[in-house]
Amino acid sequence: MEAGQGDARLRARLMDHALLLTGFVVAAALAFDFVNGFHDAANSIATIVATRVLKPFHAVLWASFFNFAALFVFGTGVATTVGSGMVALDTVTPVVILAGLIGAVAWGLITWWFAMPTSSSHALLGGYAGAAMFNSALRHGWGAMYDPIIVSGWSRTLAFIVIAPVIGMALGHVLMRVSLFMQGRSPAKKADKIFGRMQLFSSAFLSLMHGSNDAQKTAGVIAGVLVAAGYFRHFTIPIWVLWISYGTMGLGTLAGGWRIVKTMGRDLTRLRPIGGFCAETSAALAILSATLLHLPVSTTHATTGAILGTGSARSLKAVRWSLAGNILWAWIFTIPAAALLGGIAMEIAILCGG
C-alpha cells in the first residue's frame, strides 16, 4: 500500500516536472518570438523610416498591427513545416527544442549587437537542427548525427535562401525601373508625396507578410514541444498557440531594432519614397511566394535583396556593395553558427542531466 502511494507521488512529481519544463520551453519560444520581432523590425520599418514617411514610433505601431493582423489572413502551412517537416519529432524532446531556441536567440543577439541584418528564421532552424543532431550523436554515436534531419523539408528551405533574395532583387529592380519611367519628369516633391502615400500600403503589406511567415515559425516550435512532451499524439496547432505567437512577435516589433534600421534603410543605399515603395512591395511579394508554398523564408534576405535591386535600378554606384558583401557572409554563417550554438547548449544540458 505504502509502495503504491510512493509510486503515485513519484509519478505526480515527474508530471509536475514535465509540465514545468514544457512551460519553460514555451516561454523560451516566446522569448525567441519577441527577439525575432525586435530583430526583424528593421525589415518592416527601415524603408518607411529612412524615407521619412513615418516617424519611428508611428512606424513600429503600424508594423506591429499588421504583424498581428496576419493571424486572420493566413493558415498554418509554414508552422506545420517548421514543427514537423524539418526535424523528425520522434527524435525530439522538450530539452532539444530548448537548446535549439537558446542557440537561435544567442545568434540573434550577437548579430543585433553588430548591426547585421541576419535571418532570425534561419537561426531558429539552425539552432533546432543543431540541438537535435548533437542529441542524437551524443546518445547514439556520431554515425547517428544526421538521423533527425528530414531531407525533403530542408532541401526546399535551403533553396529559398537563394531564391527569396533573388526574387526580391529582380522585382525591386524591375518595379523601380517602371516607377521611374512613370514618374517621368514630374517634380521630385510631387513624386515623393504620391509615393509616400503609396508606401503606407506597401509597408503594411510587408508587415503583414512578415507576420504571416515568421510568427508561424514560433507556433510550429511550440506545437512541436507539446507533441514531444506527450500532450498531443499527433502534430496539431491550437488556436491559442497562434494567438500568443502572433501577439508576442507584434510586441517585439513594437520594441524595434533601431541599430539594424540604420544599416538597412540608410547605410545599404539611400532611399526616397519611390524606392521605399518598390523595395517593400518586392520584398512582400517574395515572402508571399514562400508562404503560399508553406516554406519558412527569411524576411531579412527578401528585404535586403529588394533594397539592393531598387538601389541598383538607379545606379550600381548607389549601392554599398562592400556592406552587402558583409551581410552575405553573415547569411552564410547563420545556420551553421546557430546549429553550433544549439549543439553546445544541448551538450551542456546533457552534462547537467537533461
In SS3 terms, 162-180 reads as: HHHHHHHHHHHHHHHHHHH
* pLDDT recorded at residue 290: 92
Q: Grid coordinates 538601389 are at which residue?
A: 311
d(CA 294, CA 251): 24
d(CA 9, CA 292): 49
Q: Between the CA atoms of 59, 62, 67 and 72, what dihedral angle is there, to the nearest 10 degrees?
A: -170
* pLDDT recorded at residue 191: 78
Altogether, the residues listed in the chain come to a count of: 354
Please state, as a whole number, how many other Cβ atoms lie within 10 Å of the Cβ of residue 267: 14
Alpha-helical (H) ranges within the chain are: 2-50, 56-69, 77-84, 94-113, 120-140, 151-183, 188-228, 239-255, 258-262, 273-292, 299-314, 321-351
* pLDDT recorded at residue 82: 92
* pLDDT recorded at residue 190: 80
d(CA 209, CA 215): 10
Q: Residue 87 — φ and ψ, nearest 5°?
A: -130, 135
Among 80, 115, 120, 113, residue whose Cα is nearest residue 248: 120
Domain count, the chain: 1
C-alpha cell at 200: 503606407
Q: Grid coordinates 519577441 are at which residue?
A: 34
Q: Residue 300 — φ and ψ, nearest 5°?
A: -65, -45
* pLDDT recorded at residue 269: 52
What do you get for the CA distance between the two ends of the chain, in Å? 32
**SS3 at position 266:** helix
Strand-pair partners of 149: 87
CB 215 within 8 A of CB 64: no
Q: Grid coordinates 522585382 are at which residue?
A: 171
Q: Report CA-CA distances (Å) from 64 to 61, 122, 163, 207, 312.
A: 5, 21, 26, 7, 29
Among 333, 306, 345, residue whose Cα is nearest residue 165: 306
Q: How would you write the pLDDT of the chain (354 residues) with one tens digit per residue? A: 555 555 556 555 545 667 888 888 999 899 888 877 876 666 666 667 766 777 777 777 888 899 899 999 888 999 999 998 999 988 888 999 999 999 988 887 887 777 666 777 888 999 999 999 999 998 888 999 999 999 988 998 888 888 888 899 899 999 999 988 887 777 777 877 888 888 889 889 988 998 899 899 999 999 999 998 888 888 999 999 999 999 998 888 877 655 555 554 455 456 678 888 898 899 999 999 999 999 998 887 888 888 888 888 877 666 666 656 666 776 788 899 999 999 999 989 888 875
* pLDDT recorded at residue 294: 93
> Which domain covers residue 50, as residue numbers?
2-351
Among 58, 62, 64, residue whose Cα is nearest residue 36: 64
* pLDDT recorded at residue 324: 65
